[in-house]
Amino acid sequence: MAISQGAAFFMLVVSCVCSTVFHRDQQTWFEGVFLSSMCPINVSASTLYGIMFDAGSTGTRIHVYTFVQKLPGQLPILEGEIFDSVNPGLSAFVDQPKQGAETVQELLEVAKDSIPRSHWKRTPVVLRATAGLRLLPEKKAQALLFEVVKEIFRKSPFLVPDDSVSIMDGSYEDVQSWLSFTGQLHGHSQETVGTLDLGGASTQITFLPQFEKTLEQTPRGYLTSFEMFNSTYKLYTHSYLGFGLKAARLTALGALETEGIDGHTFRSACLPRWLEAEWIFGGVKYQYGGNQEGSLPLTFSPCPCAPFALSGEAGFEPCYAEVLRVVQGKLHQPDEVQRSSFYAFSYYYDRAVDTDMIDYEKGGVLKVEDFERKAREVCDNLENFTSGSPFLCMDLSYITALLKDGFGFAGNTVLQLTKKVNNIETGWALGATFHLLQSLGISH
């Protein structure tokens, strides 16, 4: 997929005239970006807005971006972002499409409150669905998106492009996320900087290879070419559908391998023995619980390296054996990741926050082995550990297995965990919005 030179270069020049609002210990390429509501701007014809809906597997999010094009022919400057979200995601409304559309309408009101009425007709609104919708049967996904959501857009006062609603290709999502983080690509550093994203239904890895060996050994379909600064770059990027955190839970529980799940309770060594609960994902209800004394667990493993869990067994080792079978031998392991720096976000960030490994607002720096250490601590004390999520042990163990045995990271690989960069939500939406403005001829 080709990325226009202007769109990619834009990622390097986002700035703000009110950068004194923030104090940062370390300068970044997003220096000075701020929430537009914190620093009023002069609304004029040179002020541009873009509305991007991110329809993910666990929630629907809206990004309302403000840009200023100070002089004709110059690249617009990002002024700020208004962000909001609703849960659950649209995929949960597959059989109640109108209820799903109501969540989109609710977020549209946020856009109307954020953008001056004079700019409504020239502000594009689009929705891009990710892995959660890609997992649904095509006919149901199409009915939900095109017959319902697009109709909501048509009734709105905003500019609605022909392709205003679509299910986004995983590689496009990956490239835009990477561009949002690596605006220093054209700088002096030769270090490979990559991104890791862990959603509910899928997981992504993206980085710029520095060695010819990586390019030669990468499978077909894992490399994407794009142009920037009059040069062509090959980006390693891949989205693994079904390997998101919540999809992995179902695989670890054996729920995806068992027909006729009604009446079944899926048991796991990753859950407290006393637990009996139900969980809804993708519109399906699952009964689950811990391995009870005197009863055989329903989980199993076909891999000799991950033996059957014993009756009543719980803790890190048997839990890790369960999650290991989800990823082992199923993901490509590029050698170069051992010598690369990576940003990690989404559920990597959330689970690190949940266990006090990083600060919610500031994020932090962790090593892969820190996830394993915390997983052991939580899993080996399941009966005493209090958490808002009964899946915390399973999730931390899965993250460990995904990083180490899935992608092949070493235990001492450093991860920069972040949720925002100078108050701008991380992810693909920023690059995609600017590219949208260019494609519509709104920015030049």
- Where is the binding site for ATP, in residues? 200-204
Annotation says 138 is catalytic: no
What is the 3-state secondary structure of the chain? CCCCHHHHHHCCCCCCCCHHHCCCCCCCCCCCCCCHHHCCCCCCCCEEEEEEEEECCCCEEEEEEEEECCCCCCCCEEEEEEEEEECCCHHHHCCCHHHHHHHHHHHHHHHHHHCCHHHHHHCEEEEEECHHHHCCCHHHHHHHHHHHHHHHHHCCCCECCCCCEEECCHHHHHHHHHHHHCCCCCCCCCCCEEEEEECCCEEEEEECCCCHHHHHHCCCCCEEEEEECCEEEEEEEEEEECCCHHHHHHHHHCHHHCCCCCCCEEEECCCCCCCEEEEEECCEEEEEEECCCCCCCCCCCCCCCCCCCCCCCCCHHHHHHHHHHHHCCCCCCCHHHHHCEEEEEEHHHHHHHHCCCCECCCEEEEEHHHHHHHHHHHHCCCCCCCCCCCCHHHHHHHHHHHHHHHCCCCCCCEEEECCEECCEECCCHHHHHHHHHHHCCCCC
Catalytic residue among 173, 322, 336, 372: 173
Would you name the residues annotated as active-site residues? Answer: 173
